[in-house]
């Protein structure tokens, strides 16, 4: 039952937690997920009562990250503003994660949350990492866009985020540091409009342009700053 594992992870439960819910052993859940046996009619009914199994999920894409954060925060008894304050984040940033709006955490944000809430379960961490990974390229790395020493001086694509961790600008350049210096005098390039940034190294200029265009199109409906309404310099 491949959909069983997906539904369990999207709910934020471990195998043991699900097993306790429907009164079977953890090994039984593991066997079902690996195709080594099937639940009987009563067990299947119990699974349907606690998980979203067998429904048409067209247009629905539940974030494992959102499920983990919501569950971990609730277990601590903290509200979203409380967690945000303790982690040094903004409430909108936490709300965006829990609503699925932010699916790929920047490294520094992940560290803050894990420090407070404890590590993600292995399966959840794997699912989150797979979402953040760009196949064949790697994952985005954080840097401070306002600190010239931290700006990467290699070729790549960069993303700016506002104070709520929303991606608002995508750019590319043969030297990311030099490209970002072009933004220094722009009216919008200041906190909290541009609060943080990530980048990924891509040496091939044609590939950088293609990915930049794709990301801008993807973010267009949510972006504050994009090719259509900001002079790119």
Closest residue by Cα to residue 219 from 159, 179, 178: 159
Q: Is 139's pLDDT higher than 80?
A: no
Q: Is residue 233 part of a domain?
A: no
d(CA 160, CA 139): 15
Separation of alpha carbons 188 and 178, rounded Å? 18
Q: Is the pLDDT of residue 121 over 90?
A: no
For residues 92-110, average pLDDT = 80
Shared-domain flag, residues 123 and 100: yes
The Cα 142–Cα 199 span in angstroms is 7
Q: Is the pLDDT of residue 209 over 50?
A: yes
Q: Are 152 and 202 in contact (CB under 8 A)?
A: no
Of 115, 133, 151, which residue is a domain's last? 133
Do the beta carbons of residue 172 and residue 210 sit within 8 Å? no
Structure confidence at residue 5 as a pLDDT band (50, 70, 90): confident
Tell me: do 38 and 82 sit in the same domain.
no
For residue 44, what are the domain limits?
A: 2-50
On average, the pLDDT of the chain sits at 84
In a domain, 225, yes or no: no
pLDDT at 117: 96
Within a domain: 231: no
What is the pTM (predicted TM-score) of this model?
Answer: 0.59
The answer on 88 and 35 residing in a single domain is no
- Looking at 5-9, 87-91, 99-103, which range is the least confident one? 99-103
What is the number of structural domains in the chain? Answer: 3
- pLDDT tens column, 154-194: 999 999 988 888 888 999 999 999 999 999 999 999 998 99
- Sign of the torsion formed by the C-alpha atoms of 28, 30, 33 and 34: negative
Does 148 map to a domain? yes
pLDDT band at 58 (very low <50, low <70, confident <90, very high): very low
Q: Looking at the structure, do residues 36 and 82 belong to the same domain, yes or no? A: no
Same domain, 69 and 87: yes
Q: Which residues, at least 6 apart from 24, have a Cβ–Cβ distance to it below 8 Å?
A: 43
Query: Using CA atoms, how far apart are residues 21 and 35, in angstroms rounded to an integer?
Result: 20
Spatial separation of the C-alpha atoms in residues 6 and 29, rounded to whole Å? 13
Q: Which residue has the higher pLDDT, 10 or 67?
A: 67
Helices and strands (H, E) in the chain, number of each type: 11, 6
């Amino acid at each position: 039952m491949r959909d069983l594992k997906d539904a369990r992870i999207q709910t934020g439960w471990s195998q043991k937690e699900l097993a306790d819910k429907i009164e079977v052993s953890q090994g039984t859940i593991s066997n079902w997920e690996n195709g080594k046996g099937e639940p009987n009619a009563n067990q299947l009914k119990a699974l349907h009562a606690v998980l979203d199994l067998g429904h048409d999920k067209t247009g629905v894409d539940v974030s494992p990250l959102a499920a983990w954060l919501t569950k971990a925060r609730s277990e601590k008894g903290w509200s979203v503003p409380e967690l945000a304050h303790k982690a040094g984040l903004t409430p909108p940033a936490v709300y965006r994660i829990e609503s699925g709006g932010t699916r790929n955490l920047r490294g520094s944000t992940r560290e803050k949350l894990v420090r407070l809430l404890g590590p993600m379960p292995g399966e959840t961490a794997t699912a989150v990492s797979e979402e953040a990974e760009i196949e064949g390229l790697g994952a985005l790395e954080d840097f401070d866009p306002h600190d010239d020493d931290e700006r990467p001086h290699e070729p790549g694509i960069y993303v700016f985020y506002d104070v709520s961790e929303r991606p608002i600008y995508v750019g590319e350049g043969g030297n990311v540091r030099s490209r970002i210096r072009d933004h220094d005098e722009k009216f919008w390039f200041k906190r909290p409009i541009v609060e943080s940034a990530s980048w990924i190294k891509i040496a091939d200029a044609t590939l950088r342009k293609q990915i930049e265009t794709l990301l801008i199109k993807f973010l267009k409906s949510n972006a504050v700053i994009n090719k259509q309404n900001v002079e790119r310099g």
